[in-house]
Structure 1
Amino acid sequence: MQLTGAEIIIECLKEQGVDTVFGYPGGAILNVYDALYKYRDEIHHVLTSHEQGAAHAADGYARATGKVGVCMATSGPGATNLVTGIATAYMDSVPVVAITANVGKPLLGKDSFQEVDIAGIVMPITKHSYIVKDITKLADTIRKAFYIAKSGRPGPVLVDVTKDVTGALYDYSPRRPATVNRETSEIHRENVEQAVNMICKAQKPFIFVGGGSVISGASEEIAELSHRIQAPVCDSLMGKGGFSGEDPYYTGMLGMHGTKTSNLGVSQCDLLIVLGARFSDRVTGNAKTFANKAKILQIDIDAAEINKNVLVDAYIEGDIKEVLRRLLEEIPEKKHPQWMEHIQEMKAKYPLNYDHTQLTGPYIIEKLYELTDGDAIITTDVGQHQMWAAQYYKYKEPRTFLSSGGLGTMGFGLGAAIGAKMGRPEKTVVNIAGDGCFRMNMNEIATAVRCGKPLVQIVLNNHVLGMVRQWQTLFYDHRYSHTVLNDAVDFVKISEGMGAKAIRVTKMEEVESALKEALSSDGPVVLDCWIDQDLSVFPMVPAGANIDDVFDEEDMKNEQSV
């Protein structure tokens, strides 16, 4: 059957099971949007307010569902506006296919209107990028893009198609998507035996869960391993939900804003089992001293991550779920009562704590957790609110905490929340942002209203760039250079102007009723929550310090009183 290139693109999306795409039209991609009009009953297109919002929405859709997210943009600035979202997905191993259209082939390389080499621009931040200038290669390229995006360690792929290809005619034959199997070829028997031996000998084991565990879907195996060998579990920001935050063996996040129990426990353990984590500097602090009393066993699908940031004593390369399944076949039950008693004592001694006399981010997030029973999908932007969301909401399941970890993208959360809601409409979806981040993406409130689905946007509004200001307080002698947002921006009026319901919250006693109203609404609701500008995120490890140098507000007060 003969179809235009644009129709072939849509048919290939249908082959891959795509039901939703996020994008913004323009001249070069008009043929594709014309095809979308014809296929509007089969593929739902979400028109975002900005192309970056489309990239973040595709990312959020992928993180929430485990499927490939798809975004579209036209040539030139449309394509370049996707770049930050593509980089965000790349850093956090999220499967996204970005489809852009370029000028016609005869106009390439001539500085034509809205011409840019987007395939070249995104090369360092994609698993692969293509430019299709020949319609005979179009369908196979789209198919390859989806396979690459979701195979092995997932990530974004960009396909740029010249406008003449989208308008040309060519024979199209449907094809079933290639099967993506779990990576098992590098799971070697001797490596498994070495790991089993290390686990059996350990007296103080600790498990560290990273984002790869969530991607692999290994939460059941991690829980079984933890309880079988009596090993406490901590996680990275990306690993949230890979092990239930309600499990008594859970000790909290590890690293710069990790709990004292996790940071001290990892520093004291004799075996650290690392599952799908890349040893980010935000986790390790001083990499040379990280877990230096322990043997380290790293399990990861990506060989490039082995011994990259931290030297390990043993490793297994392969899909985490499959590796753990094989390990569990051979690991006997192990009891470590003294170790577990020590961990529980630390949890009791060093709980997360905050000021209960005033309205704070942690209070709002704890109340949100209570009212949603921990069953919501939480998205965040980047900063203090992100850390509080990681610390004070207990994530019971994978794919319920969506946040920009590697790139740290302000403006990520609202687009991601829209994508998550489109992918999992049955779930309550809440985006938590600071006022600095909300300024970067609040135009997507109009998108959320247009989608007509309930969604809650919480703005923790301290009228400053909170995390940067916290560093200025601690390390820059209170020199608040350009971090105070002392202007007249009114988020309630702005949100109402875009069609959303909006509520301002300034007191603790207003929080519960405002959250209940927002959570029961049938459309988007923005809560503008005013908190003090001097609130800080604790515990904290200074950049580059040892993770057992972790301190909190009480430690600072004690030091100042000496």
Structure 2
Amino acid sequence: MALTVGDYVLKRLRDWGVEHVFGYPGDGINGLIAAFGKAGDEPRFVQSRHEEMAAFQAVGYAKFGGRVGVCMATSGPGAIHLLNGLYDAKLDHVPVVAVVGQTDRAAMGGNYQQEVDLLSLFKDVASAYVQMATVPEQLPNLIDRALRIALAERAPTCVIIPADLQEETYRPPEHAFRQVPSSAPGYVRPLTRAPQPELERAAEILNAGSKVAILVGQGARGARREVMEVAELTGAGVAKALLGKDVLPDDLPYVTGSIGLLGTRPSYELMRDCDTLLIVGSNFPYTQYLPEFGAARAVQIDVDGRMIGMRYPTEVNLVGDAAETLRALIPLLRRKEDRSWRRTVEHNVARWWEVVERQAHLEAEPINPMRLFWELSSRLPDNAIVTADSGSAANWYARDLRFRGQVRGSLSGTLSTMGPGVPYAIGAKFACPDRPAIALVGDGAMQMNGLAELITVQRYYQRWADPRLVVAVLHNNDLNQVTWELRAMGGAPKFTESQSLPEVPYAAFARSLGLEGIEVDKPEAIGPAWERALSAGRPAVLDVRVDPDIPPIPPHAEFEQLKDVAEAIIKGDPDSWGVIRKGLKTKAQEMIPGKWR
């Protein structure tokens, strides 16, 4: 039987080693769906509950699996639904390929049902590569280029295939004029590093500094050993951008944790007091959390020359792979014998974790959300994958959760969209089925789409070697992050009509699907609940009643932010007394006992 175009698309994906395609069916991709059936579901079609979730699952798969993620949707509304997840991939530099259906070629331009100008629709989000096939001979080139460019550019790409073309007999490109062949599938990222003279200039700056700080982002993930060696030679403290939280474990005494609005006090102090800054694989955009201009000499390392020298006035910009470049830099560095700066950093880090513990154990009504994250830290499996959703959960994930061992973690770092926490974890489980996954989400995100994706979890979890996927829901019936942003950024009181959420029994819903469901409404029950969920032998939902009035106050909160909160309270915030009392108690933990150096 002759191969159809749909058959060939799946064959080419298999040739590339693609094992999973996340999607939702529709008549615009009937030819492709039929091909899955004929191919024995290879690659495996993973049915999400919504195309946006399919795109998020592909992003999670790519982030944690180190491979390209592939998602698929029908024409018109299905294609439109992919956009948010693909923008998440674009902004976080993740390789994802979208295969999208389109109306029949004969109907194009005729205002036909579900006809959308998909080339224009995807022009921005898939700007690295978006093309529509019109004849079979365009394949395999379109599929190959979409995959290769996605991997090379670390970006989403898109191939559009009209519905009628999917069912045509596949014809390969010929050795002829205006026919475009393709090479064997595969892409290997080149190993690159900066030239020697630039490495020497960078070493001179690092050697001259007496108070060195290192900022790592996700681009340093493959350079853990090298970053640790540079930190040891220079006596540096290491801060982490949000997407770089898993670059180094938090049990290293000189790792100061996250930086920025969601960051820690020792990271703030590190940047404030350093005289030399090394940025490795980070595009952290908030310059106000970096050293004052002119206060520190700076060096940056990034594999992408387009992203270098744009966040801080760096003197030397080293374009190259982080690990390769650091390995070439290390022999040029002199070990600093004066360790007073390192001792100060380590003192502040130790002090910070004492503060976090005290803050997490403050009384709340009924549970302090920080306690949920604190209790998880000591129980995290060394090979766990952790996802967090946007919202207040991201604050506690960034500040309070201590990674160790080979723990991996991520969230929607740049787009900061609501909703990827659970689908990221699902994608991670298909990429790494032998590792436990934990999703930390607010009840707003859970109501938005997490509840529906529990159905996806229930459908597929028995295929995973390790069936554990724990979803912890911060249940406070409040869109808490926006509530605090209203107070802190706009000086406006909480507007109940927009902020309050309806009551939903999350654990009961999980149990109705045959999953483990655990309600937690007492702080002393949190630890045992984590242990039960992580030993359940099936996916679990922790429905944790947390206090909405525990403020995510940055440890370096600016006077204007505190003034705006005070103004919001004066204007009649419905939770004013709780905000004042709990905010003061939380902030007070930074003051006693001991001092910051």
> Quick check: 1:313 aligned with 2:315?
yes
Alignment-mate amino acid for residue 416 of structure 2: G
1:239 aligns with 2:263: no
Give the direction of change, closer, same or farther, for the CA distance of 1:11–1:21 in structure 2 (3 Å limit).
same
In 2, the alpha carbon distance for the partners of 1:467 and 1:540 equals: 17
Give the letter aligned to residue 47 of structure 1. Q
- Cα displacement (A) at 1:427: 0.7
- Residue 207 of structure 1: CA displacement? 0.6
Which of 291, 294, 301 is 1:299 aligned to?
301
Pick aligned residue for 1:449 from 440, 458, 469: 458
1:238 match: secondary structure = helix
Find the counterpart in structure 1 of residue 542 from structure 2: 527
Q: Give yes or no for contact 2:309–2:317 (8 Å, CA) kept in 1.
A: no
TM-score (norm 2): 0.86
Corresponding residue for residue 480 of structure 1: 494
Structure 1 residue 337: deviation in Å?
0.8
Structure-1 residue corresponding to 2:185 = 177
Q: Does 2:262 match 1:269?
A: no
Query: How far is 1:346 from its partner?
Result: 2.4
Distance of 1:188 and 1:384 partners within structure 2:
43
The amino acid of 2:487's aligned partner reads: T
Q: Deviations over 1:140-199 (max 9, x none)?
A: 111111111111x41111111111221111245996324323252x72222111111111
Q: 1:202: how far off?
A: 1.4
Tell whether the 8 Å contact from 1:209 to 1:234 is kept in structure 2 after alignment.
Answer: yes
Taking structure 1 as reference, are residues 247 and 131 closer, same or farther at Cα in structure 2, changes over 3 Å only? same
Q: Structure 2 matches for 1:118-129, cutoff 5 A?
A: 118-126=118-126, 127-129=128-130
Native 8 Å contact 1:438 1:459 kept in 2: yes
- Counterpart amino acid of 1:456? V
* Change in 2 beyond 3 A, CA 1:12/1:92: same
What residue is the counterpart of 2:177 in the other structure? Answer: none
Cα distance in 2 for residues equivalent to 1:179 and 1:23: 24
SS in 2 for 1:3: coil
**Is the aligned partner of 1:285 residue 2:292?**
no
The alpha-carbon distance between structure 1 residues 421 and 128, as it changes in their structure 2 partners (threshold 3 A), is same
Which residue is 1:507 aligned to?
522
Q: Does the 8 Å contact 1:119/1:159 carry over to 2?
A: no
Kept in 2: contact 1:99–1:158 (CA 8 A): yes
Tell me if 1:207 matches 2:222: no
Deviation at 1:315, TM superposition (A): 0.6
- Confirm whether residue 327 of structure 1 aligns to residue 329 of structure 2: yes
Kindly indicate whether the alpha-carbon contact (under 8 Å) linking 1:229 and 1:336 is maintained by their aligned counterparts in 2.
Answer: no
Bigger CA radius of gyration: 2
- Report the 3-state secondary structure (helix = DSSP H, G, I; strand = E; otherwise coil) of the residue aligned with 1:347: helix
Identity percentage of aligned residues: 30
Aligned residues: 547
Secondary structure, in 3 states, of the residue corresponding to 2:12? helix
- Report the TM-score, using the length of structure 1 for normalisation: 0.91
The residue matched to 1:111 in structure 2 has which SS? coil
Read off the aligned partner of 1:273 and give its amino acid letter: L
1:125 Cα shift? Answer: 2.0
Q: Mean alpha-carbon deviation: is it higher for 225-234 or for 71-80? A: 225-234
Q: Is the 8 A contact 1:147 1:180 kept in 2?
A: no
In structure 2, the CA distance between the partners of 1:77 and 1:24, relative to structure 1 (3 Å rule), is: same
Equivalent residues in 2 for 1:50-449, closer than 5 Å: 50-126=50-126, 127-151=128-152, 153-171=153-171, 176-182=184-190, 184=192, 187-214=194-221, 217-281=222-286, 284-285=287-288, 290=292, 292-351=294-353, 352-353=355-356, 354-356=359-361, 357-358=363-364, 359-396=367-404, 400-441=408-449, 442-449=451-458
State the shift of 1:101 in Å.
0.9
Q: Please say if residues 501 and 524 of structure 1, whose CA atoms lie closer than 8 Å, have aligned partners that are also in contact.
A: yes
User: Structure 1 residues 259-268 or 53-62, which shifts more?
Assistant: 259-268
Amino acid at match of 1:204: K
- Partner-residue secondary structure (3-state), 2:553: coil
1:499 to partner: Cα distance = 3.9
In the alignment, the residues of structure 1 paired with residue 72 and residue 555 of structure 2 have an alpha-carbon distance, to the nearest angstrom, of 40
Paired AA for residue 372 in structure 1: L
**How far did residue 26 of structure 1 move?**
0.2
| Ranges in structure 1 where 5+ consecutive residues have no aligned partner | 547-551
Are residues 1:491 and 2:472 paired?
A: no
Q: Which moved more, 1:493-502 or 1:333-342?
A: 493-502
329-338 or 76-85, which deviates more: 329-338
The 3-state SS of whatever aligns with 2:232 is: helix
The one of the two structures with greater contact order (alpha-carbon pairs below 8 A, sep at least 6) is 1
Higher deviation after alignment, 442-451 or 251-260: 251-260
Task: Specify every segment of 5 or more residues in structure 2 that has no aligned partner in the other structure, as ranges.
Answer: 174-181, 462-466, 562-582, 591-597
- TM-superposed CA distance for 1:477, in Å, is 4.2
Cα distance between partner residues in 2 of 1:14 and 1:92: 26
Residue type of the partner of 1:192? L
CA–CA distance in 1 between the matches of 2:252 and 2:43? 40
**Alpha-carbon contact 2:266-2:352 (below 8 Å) kept:** yes
- Residues in 2 aligned to 1:543 and 1:108: alpha-carbon distance in whole angstroms: 56
Instruction: Using the TM superposition, give the Cα deviation of residue 439 of structure 1 relative to its aligned residue in structure 2, in angstroms.
Output: 1.0
Instruction: Tell which deviates more after alignment, 175-184 or 516-525.
Output: 175-184
Residues 308-366 of structure 1: CA deviation (Å, up to 9, x unaligned): 23322111112212211211233233334111122123224444421413422221122
Deviations 1:46-70 (A, max 9, x none): 1111111111111111111101111
The alignment yields a C-alpha RMSD, in angstroms, of 2.5
Distance 1:129 1:543 in 2: 44
Name the CA shift for 1:483/1:544 in 2 (closer, same or farther; >3 Å): farther
SS in 1 for 2:424: helix
Contact 1:70 1:97 in 2 (8 A): yes
Query: Are the equivalent residues in 2 in contact too, given 1:22–1:70 (CA < 8 A)?
Result: yes
CA contact (8 A) 1:257 1:541 kept: no
